[in-house]
Amino acid sequence: MESFIHIIILSMLVTTAAAIVRVKDLFAVTMLAGIYGLLSASFFVLMDAHDVAFTEAAVGAGISTLLILTTLSMTGRFEKAAENPKSNYKPALALTLVTVTGALLIYGTQDMPAFGAADAPVQTHVVPRYLNDSATEIDIPNVVASVLASYRGYDTFGEVVVIFTAGIGVLALIMSTVSTAPVALRASMEEHVILRIVSKMLIPLILIFGLYVQFHGEYGPGGGFQAGVIFASAFFLYAMLFGLTAARKVVNSNWVQALAALGVLLYGSVGVLAMINGGNFLDYNFLAQDDVHGQHMGILFVELGVGITVASVMIIIFFTFSTHQQRDGEPD
Amino acid sequence: MSMVTTYLSWALLVLGGFLCVSGSVGLLRFPDFFTRMHAASVTDTLATGMILVGLMLQAPTWIVFGKLVMILVFVLLTSPTAGHALAKAALHSGLKPLLPGKGGKIDADPRPSAGGV
């Protein structure tokens, strides 16, 4: 029965991907990409990977769809037609490249162990230690959180730095053309009374849910990445319905930029504090008197740093894109 | 007691599933954008509500029950709002609903079907 559902979801994924390739309307493509994200999330739930599914639903289906829509409002709605003589549309080269790469990848899978094989390196290398010792070494119920924040603390630090760099990149590319003067509010959202009232009811709930996801990550699916994205989406909702001018009164862009850096700094400081106390970088055992307590504190602060950086960078990207678009006077 | 809740829960789940399917059929078969959206949003709200209530009856603990209630409140708030926003956006961009003509029949619409967008 379960493999039946797997087959259905996987074929829906393939169909959605084919539709993404075929459809020329980029708004529809964005929505299809969101559907693709939701389907992947359902598939991950079926595979019992709840943390991954949560991340995919929040990031893949949620925030990236929104960010792509914001980008589309800057670029234009339709793909350039292939018949247009001015477009440099050369499918043969891309097709060859994709075919060769795909063939190489499929050839590469021949050397890999079978799916779910007991002697595969993924089952024998470090996973047994994580699964067997996480309960005594770190003592939190969600093993994914202990792997992500403690055993693999370096990797997660790298991811946070990548997100921070993305925020800096967007600012460096687009910020220079944005004036700090307040821009006029588009009136198109003024009459959306029902949307405004419902979103006013929902925004506090979204913020509380974000905090719940942030601080409940050790006990269930969740953590800094998902929480940051959910927290930022509340600000997106407010900005879209009440206008950028109103949103700018809530979100001070200088503060948000400082917060984006502060999250990374908090993460790194936890690592440096462990070094000062005599351990290795990000060795939380040295943060408190006993190891388990130190692990708990380390994971809490590290996840907080992740959440702060992710939320701030998402808000920075969204606001920079929308301000840029508004200033260019691009009609809706 | 447990027998009654189990049967009631399954009745709600099956009815909710049926409504999901009927909403999808309506989405495919109704003549214009607004009736299709009606099929999708109205049946989806009811179907999701029924499925969630059916699950609530089987909830093992009160925490699970509470979480399902919160999901239900969220769906009841967002789903009709999304439908409203969609219909408003369609009206705003100039799409008119199909209305009955003089003979009580639906006028043939010269425009291509809007459902594909």
Average pLDDT score over chain A: 85
The mean per-residue pLDDT over the stretch A121-144 comes to: 84
Nearest to A44 by CA among A227, A303, A221: A221
Is residue A133 domain-resident? no
Distance of CA A274 to the CA centre of its chain: 28
Q: What is the ipTM of this complex?
A: 0.76
Q: What is the pLDDT of residue A327?
A: 59
A322 shares a domain with A245: yes
Between these two residues, A170 and A77, which has the higher pLDDT value?
A170
Distance, CA of B92 to CA of B97 (rounded, Å): 12
Residue of B nearest to A191 (CA): B88
Considering CB atoms only, which of A28, A194, A202 is closest to B84? A194
Q: Contact A305/A51 with Cβ under 8 angstroms?
A: no
**Whole-number Å distance between alpha carbons of A250 and A213:** 23
- Does residue A108 sit within a domain? yes
Any domain includes A105: yes
- Boundary of a domain, candidates A94, A112, A130: A112
Both A92 and A151 in one domain: the answer is no
Please provide the DSSP assignment of A164-175 as one string.
HHHHHHHHHHHG
State the Cα–Cα distance between residues B106 and B87, nearest whole angstrom.
20
Structural domain count of chain A: 2
Is there a single domain that holds both residue A26 and residue A158? no
Q: Do A93 and A196 lie in a common domain?
A: no
Residue A188, min C-alpha distance to chain B (Å): 10
> Do residues A295 and A242 both lie within one domain?
yes
pLDDT by residue (tens digit) across A243-274?
A: 888 888 888 888 999 999 999 999 999 999 98
Separation in Å, CA B90 to CA A33, A170, A197: 22, 33, 21
Q: Label residues B44-59 b or e (16+ Cβ within 10 Å = b).
A: bbbbbbbbbbbbbbbe
Q: Are residues A252 and A323 in the same domain?
A: yes
Contact (CB, 8 A) for A104 and A258: no
Look at residue A241 and tell me if it is in a domain: yes
CB atoms under 10 Å from CB of B2, counted, come to 8
The span from the CA of B45 to the CA of B80, in Å, is: 7
What local confidence, expressed as pLDDT, does residue B96 receive? 81
Task: Indicate whether A304 pLDDT > 90.
Answer: yes
Instruction: Give contacts of A201 with chain B, Cβ < 8 Å.
Output: 77
Question: In angstroms, rounded to a whole number, what is the distance separating the alpha carbons of residues A227 and A208?
Answer: 10
Predicted confidence at residue A76, as pLDDT, reads: 76
Task: Find the residue in B nearest to A197 (Cα).
Answer: B81
| Same structural domain, A153 and A259 | yes
In a domain, A211, yes or no: yes
Q: Chain B contacts of A202, Cβ < 8 Å?
A: 74, 77-78
Domain boundaries, chain B: 2-95
Name the residue type at position A96.
T
Tell me whether residues B85 and A201 touch, CB distance under 8 A: no
8 A C-beta contact, residue A276 and residue A261: no
CA dihedral A63, A68, A69, A72 (to 10 degrees): 170
Question: Do residues A161 and A62 both lie within one domain?
Answer: no
pLDDT of A175 above 80 = no
- Domain containing residue A31: CATH number: 1.20.120.1200
Q: Report how far apart, in Å, the C-alpha atoms of A315 and of each of A179, A189, A254 are.
A: 17, 20, 12
Interface A-B, measured as beta-carbon pairs within 8 A, has a size of: 17
> What is the span of the domain harbouring residue A42?
1-112
Q: Which of A112, A133, A162 is the last residue of a domain?
A: A112
Q: A264: number of CA atoms within 13 Å, CB side? A: 18
- For residues A170-190, give the mean pLDDT: 60
The 3-state secondary structure of chain B, one letter per residue: CHHHHHHHHHHHHHHHHHHHHHHHHHHHHCCCHHHHHHHHHHHHHHHHHHHHHHHHHCCCCHHHHHHHHHHHHHHHHHHHHHHHHHHHHHHHCCCCCCCECCCCCECCCCCCCHHHC
Question: Is A251 part of any domain?
Answer: yes
Q: What is the pLDDT of residue A189?
A: 53
Average pLDDT over every residue of A117-135: 83
User: Is-contact A305 A228, C-beta < 8 A?
Assistant: no
> pLDDT, tens digit, for every residue of A66-75?
888 888 877 7
Chain A residues with beta carbon closer than 8 angstroms to that of B81: 194-195, 198
* Whether A202 contacts A237, CB under 8 Å: yes
Q: Do A151 and A290 have their domain in common?
A: yes
In the block, tokens 């809740």 appear at B5
Quick one: pLDDT band at residue A308, thresholds 50, 70, 90? Answer: very high
Whether residues A157 and A102 fall in one domain: no
- On whether both A99 and A163 belong to a single domain, the answer is no
- Tell me what pLDDT residue A87 has: 63
State which residue of chain B sits closest to A209, comparing Cα positions.
B70
Based on the domain organization, do A285 and A180 belong to the same domain? yes
User: Would the CB atoms of A201 and B77 count as touching at under 8 Å?
Assistant: yes
Average pLDDT over residues A150-154: 88
Mean pLDDT confidence for A228-243: 90
* Res. A310 pLDDT band, cuts 50 70 90: very high
Question: Per the domain annotation, does A305 fall within a domain?
Answer: yes
- Residues of chain B under the 50 pLDDT cut: 102-105, 107-110, 112-117
